[in-house]
Amino acid sequence: MFTGLLAELEKNLKKLPGIGSKSAQRLAMFLISNHQDDALKLADSIRDAVEQYTNCSVCNILTEYEICKFCSDAHRNEQLLCIVENTQDVFLIENTQEFNGKYYVLNNLLSPIDGIGPDEISFPQLISLVKEREIEEVVLALSPSAEGESTINFLAAELTEFVQKITRLSTGLPFGGDIEYTNKLTLGNALIRRYSV
């Protein structure tokens, strides 16, 4: 059993996804014993990244600039908008190399249990962005979970008067699965075979 500072470190490591008690203890020991330089570098870069990264003022992607590299990229198709749950999903879609439009990050999905309604999924900003740009197609790249499905239904209903075409990913995705767990190939196919809602 760890005590004092070490216990504190273990407690904080355990908050990371996928880290249990045993791994947290092993990591804590690793950090304080032989690799002190590396550990301090890690601490610095955690601080830098956390402090520098904020949500892009246009699309909510986590970025170290005021406006992210996707929003400021003139080669990307402004008329094509992909709506995702979080920044991680953006990078998953980028990896497929099948998408050359812009992104919009909701940062949440509708979930009344957690008190998350339209205002908590950045919906008001999304509506003004859609009205401002003449968007031809919105791709709803959300997971087919209960929350994802209802968010797709909601956005489709709300956006339909402003956008000609609203599509969602094809159901090549494992049912009830998360897009995060889908490999590159399947996600790429799901994007190519997207269909209108």
The radius of gyration computed from the CA coordinates of the chain, to the nearest angstrom, equals 20
Q: Which is nearer to another protein, 74 or 175 (CB)?
A: 175
Q: Name, in order, each residue with C-beta under 8 angstroms of 120's C-beta and a sequence gap of 6 or more.
A: 108
In the region spanning residues 62 to 121, those forming contacts with Zn ion, defined by CB under 5 A, are 68, 71
What is the smallest separation between the CB atom of 100 and another protein, expressed in angstroms? 29
Q: Which is nearer to Zn ion, 28 or 140 (CB)?
A: 140
Nearest alpha carbon to residue 83 among 188, 178, 156: 156
56 binds, among another protein, Zn ion, none (CB under 5 to 8 A by kind): Zn ion
Site string for Zn ion, 38-57 (x = CB under 5 A): ------------------x-
Contacts 24+ apart (CB under 8 A), 20-26: none
Largest Cα–Cα separation, the chain = 61
Q: Which residues bind another protein (CB under 8 A)?
A: 110-113, 115, 117-118, 145-147, 149-151, 153-154, 157-158, 175-176
In the region spanning residues 150 to 189, those forming contacts with Zn ion, defined by CB under 5 A, are none
Rounded to 5°, angle at Cα 107 from 138 and 124: 60
